[in-house]
Amino acid sequence: MQLEKLIHKVIKGDRRAQKLLFDKYVDRLFAVARRYAVNDELAEDALFQAFMKIYTKLPEFEYINEPALVGWLTRIVINQTLMDRRKELSTLYKVETLDEERHESSWIEEMDDGALIDLVNELPDGYRTVFLMNVVDGYAHKEIAELLGISESTSRSQFFKARQFLQKKLAQDYGQAGT
Amino acid sequence: MDKLEHRIKKAFESSDKKTSFAGKEQMWSRLDSEMHGRKGVAAFWRIAAVFLGLLLTLGVVASLNYRANQRAEMENVKHDITRLQLLVDSLQTMPTQVRTEVQVVEKEKVVYRNRVVESNVQDETIKWQQNYQQAMDSMQTIQKLNAALKAEIETLNEELIALKNQAESESPEPSQSTNPFELKSERVELGPQQKPDLSNPEMELKIFPRNFNETTNNLNKTLFKK
- At B172-181, the pLDDT tens digits run 655 555 566 6
On whether the CB atoms of residues A120 and A166 are closer than 8 A, the answer is: yes
Q: How far is CA A21 from CA A17, A50, B167, in A?
A: 6, 13, 177
Q: Which percentage of chain B shows pLDDT scores above 70?
A: 64
Q: What is the pLDDT of residue A100?
A: 46
Q: How far is B68 from chain A, CA to nearest CA, in Å? A: 46
* Buried b / exposed e along A77-103 (16+ C-beta atoms within 10 A): bbebbbebbeeebeebbeeeeeeeeeb
Neighbours of B214 (CB within 10 A): 9
For an interface test with A, give the residue of B6, B10, B13, B16 to mutate (most A CBs within 10 A): B16
ipTM topping 0.85: no
Q: What is the pLDDT of residue B182?
A: 61
The amino acid at A40: D
Q: How far is B18 from chain A, CA to nearest CA, in Å? A: 8
Ranges of chain B with pLDDT below 70: 1, 38-41, 97, 105-120, 172-191, 193-226
- Span of A48-57, A85-94, A100-109 with lowest mean pLDDT: A100-109
Put simply, whether B25 touches A (Cβ < 8 Å) is no
DSSP B96: P
Q: What is the pLDDT of residue A85?
A: 75
Put simply, whether B8 touches A (Cβ < 8 Å) is yes
**CB B21 to CB A13 under 8 A?**
no
Put simply, whether B17 touches A (Cβ < 8 Å) is yes
* A132 to chain B: closest CA residue: B9
* A108 to chain B: closest CA residue: B4
Considering the entire predicted model, what is its pTM? 0.49
On whether the CB atoms of residues A22 and B28 are closer than 8 A, the answer is: yes
